[in-house]
Amino acid sequence: MAGNSLNRGFFIISAASFLFWSCYYDSKEYLFPEISTNCDTTTITYSRSVVPVLENYCLSCHNTSSAGSLGGNIILEGYSNCKLKADDGSLLGSVSHQSGYSYMPKNSAKLDDCSISIIELWIKSGSPNN
């Protein structure tokens, strides 16, 4: 009787740790350590992926009305303005801190890897208006 429930307890513990172990090793962070947790780069679009990054970190200085005073006259609001900076290399150059570009966001920490990957993958796919 006692042996039976001990065995059952042991079975449950091993089953639980096996499940935990297999989840851990299947996790995205383990398989793709360069992409941080919850970084979904499978379907990147301008409107759903790139714009939220710009809104969070960039548009306070680079919107149409603030760009003159805060953003060095560089406007990133709206697809065509953003596309110009994607095409001339300065959008990716500035957020990934490449030499020759002003590092963005100005006076703040570098963007997280996920946000930089989103911008980079969007540009590599031809920066479509999607």
- Which residue's CB is nearer to ligand HEC, number 28 or number 48? 48
Single-letter amino acid, residue 56: N
Here the tokens at position 31 are 């398989």
Q: Are 98 and 109 in contact (CB under 8 A)?
A: no
Residues 65-104 that bind ligand HEC (CB under 6 A): 70-72, 74, 76, 85, 90-91, 94-95, 101-102, 104
Alpha-carbon distance values, 50 to 7, 15, 40 (Å): 54, 42, 12
> Measured from the CB of residue 128, what is the shortest distance to ligand HEC in angstroms?
18
Q: Which residues bind ligand HEC (CB under 6 A)?
A: 57-58, 60-62, 70-72, 74, 76, 85, 90-91, 94-95, 101-102, 104-107, 111
